[in-house]
Structure 1
Amino acid sequence: MRRLAIGAASSGALALIALTVPAAHADTVVGDTAVSNAVVNGGKNVVVGTTNKVTFKVTFTASDPSGIASGQTYLYHGTWSDPDAFWTQDSPSETTCTTGTTVTCTSTYSIWPEYDLHYSAFAGTWHVGAYAKAKDGDSAKRTDLGTFHVQRYAKLTVNASPEPVTKGRTLTVTGKLTRANWDDRQYHGYAGQAVKLQFRKAGSSTYSTVKTVKTDGSGNLKTTVTASVDGAWRYSFAGTSTTPAVSATGDSVDVR
């Protein structure tokens, strides 16, 4: 896979010079070849932390009466004419296509944060494009077949105290919401985010929301509740376009 993370040091125009020939121009169709229906990661967001490799597939449909000889996909952040990050394949062999006149082509991407995501600003909406070459020499390329999200992996903790607690007494529930920072490959607090405090009664498998708490400038959470019955407390974050949803593992409290 060709990895191209441009950032502020290089311009998108210079970066596009390095792309493979099918990617060097805008949308093109030669003959009766067509590409459509691009899907990234099975329709799910691509979530990347600070160190671990993340592998996912991109599929698209290609058709031509003569059959499809090869395919290629493109993933980019920003605009096609001036992307600030761009991923594609080094060779046609990295994308496989089924046989027939209408086929499914599949590309496999492996993303390493230290090589492919140098800036947290790359989180959010990305675009997907695709190219197919037919056996008779025709071809088609679409540079924007849809969008998907690349997100910064998140962590959420919870601690309810004191444990055990006397019925009717105050229970303090603390926690912290952090997410991957691709600039320094560390985890930092996610400030100003609404997080739900939820409770699951002992013997139940369902959590119910008790209140909503906002993280402080360091991503910390703190609130109080009145202890009434045994059960587990957790914080749950719904996520944003740049950060996935995450729930803390419940902290069980014995109420006496």
Structure 2
Amino acid sequence: MRIRATVAAVSGALALSALAVPAAQADETVSRADVAKIREAAHAGSGKTAFGTRAPEEGQPYALNVSFSDFKIAKAVKVGITNHVATKVTYKLTHGADLDITAADFYTDPYIYKGAFDAPDNMLFGNNYGKCTPASSTTANCTGTIDVYPADGELWNADAGSWKAGAMAIAFNGQDPSAESFDITKVGYADKGGLATTLIQRNSQLTVNASPEPVKKGKTITVTGKLSRANWEDNKYHGYTNQSVKLQFRKKGSDTYSTVKTIKSNSTGELKTTVTASQDGYFRYSFAGTSTTPAVNATGDFVDVQ
């Protein structure tokens, strides 16, 4: 299982920051690896898909009186091969009146995961923990980001498609996870998956070239191009094969493209078709997208018809 936050914490790649709440900052000595250990202990002992309300057992945190709702994230996130991608998320945190969410060692964290909640294939977090602003004595409005670094091996091509969102909260209650006296049963933990869904997509690229230019009216125009998408395993763009792509035309002076025909990309993602020259205008290819790959339009190529 590839959980970026755990790996990054061990390698030092993540810059941890505080939980932004009035008059308090989260203790930066608590790493993502520490948080991951609490999560693993809680899920290992719950015996449920979601961490439920129960008394703490030896080696497990107790169930924290926290719930999450109104989680919002972009419907789709386009991820290329090198650039860092950050996606903002917001959610509501509801907690018991006896819980101090402004404590220095209280943390909340949004995340997204691929696969099952109790045994995900992959998880992605933010560079920083979530930031919460109290709205009442028992509620807070929280924000965070999901940060993706495709060049760091965080994603495999099979990860493209639907992901689910979750959020967790941890109250360390003065317990230092690096100390020999650390008592995990005094740590409170809450975790909830299935709060929202999003698509993590392999970014797409599309080109077009119409020739010859200029061309006589009634002669044949050959329109070529290529549909490609990000490969997260070798950090290159490769042809997206056997996909339906529309050839569209916009006459000079117009803002509207009309579909001329639909063709399919070949075994290397290449596109090629012919049309009859009739008037000055722009040709482009247009791809409607799939659940794993976003829609994309090529920049129109002007043809002068004489």
TM superposition score normalised by structure 2: 0.71
Contact 1:50-1:186 within 8 A present in 2 as well: yes
- The equivalent residue for 1:105 is 142
Q: Percent identity?
A: 49
Cα deviation, residue 232, structure 1:
0.2
State how many pairs are aligned. 242
- CA RMSD, 1 decimal: 2.8
Larger deviation, residues 54-63 vs 24-33: 24-33
Larger deviation, residues 17-26 vs 46-55: 17-26
- The equivalent residue for 1:77 is 114
- The equivalent residue for 1:56 is 87
Cα deviation, residue 133, structure 1:
5.7
CA offsets, 1:203-228, max 9 Å, x none? 01111111111000000001111111
Q: Distance in 1 between matches of 2:204 and 2:298?
A: 10
Instruction: Say if 1:72 and 1:28 are closer, same or farther in 2 by CA, change over 3 A.
Output: farther
The code of the aligned residue for 2:52 comes to: T
Aligned pairs for 1:29-48 (under 5 A) are: 29=53, 30=63, 33-40=66-73, 43-48=74-79
Contact 2:86-2:146 within 8 A present in 1 as well: yes
Instruction: Say if 1:151 and 1:52 are closer, same or farther in 2 by CA, change over 3 A.
Output: same
For 2:152, what is the secondary structure of its paired residue?
helix
Aligned pairs for 1:98-137 (under 5 A) are: 98-101=133-136, 102-132=139-169
Q: Distance in 1 between matches of 2:214 and 2:100?
A: 66
- The equivalent residue for 1:96 is 131
TM superposition score normalised by structure 1: 0.84
Contact 1:125-1:241 within 8 A present in 2 as well: yes
For 1:59, what is the secondary structure of its paired residue?
strand
Q: Distance in 2 between matches of 1:158 and 1:220?
A: 10
Unpaired stretches in structure 2, ≥5 consecutive residues: 9-32, 44-49, 54-62, 102-106, 174-186
Is 1:86 equivalent to 2:119 in the alignment? Answer: no
Instruction: Say if 1:207 and 1:189 are closer, same or farther in 2 by CA, change over 3 A.
Output: same
CA offsets, 1:126-169, max 9 Å, x none? 111112468x9986421221221111111100000111111111
Instruction: Please say which structure displays the higher CA radius of gyration.
Output: 2
Q: Which has the larger share of strand?
A: 1
Larger deviation, residues 153-162 vs 100-109: 100-109
- The equivalent residue for 2:36 is 19
Unpaired stretches in structure 1, ≥5 consecutive residues: 6-15
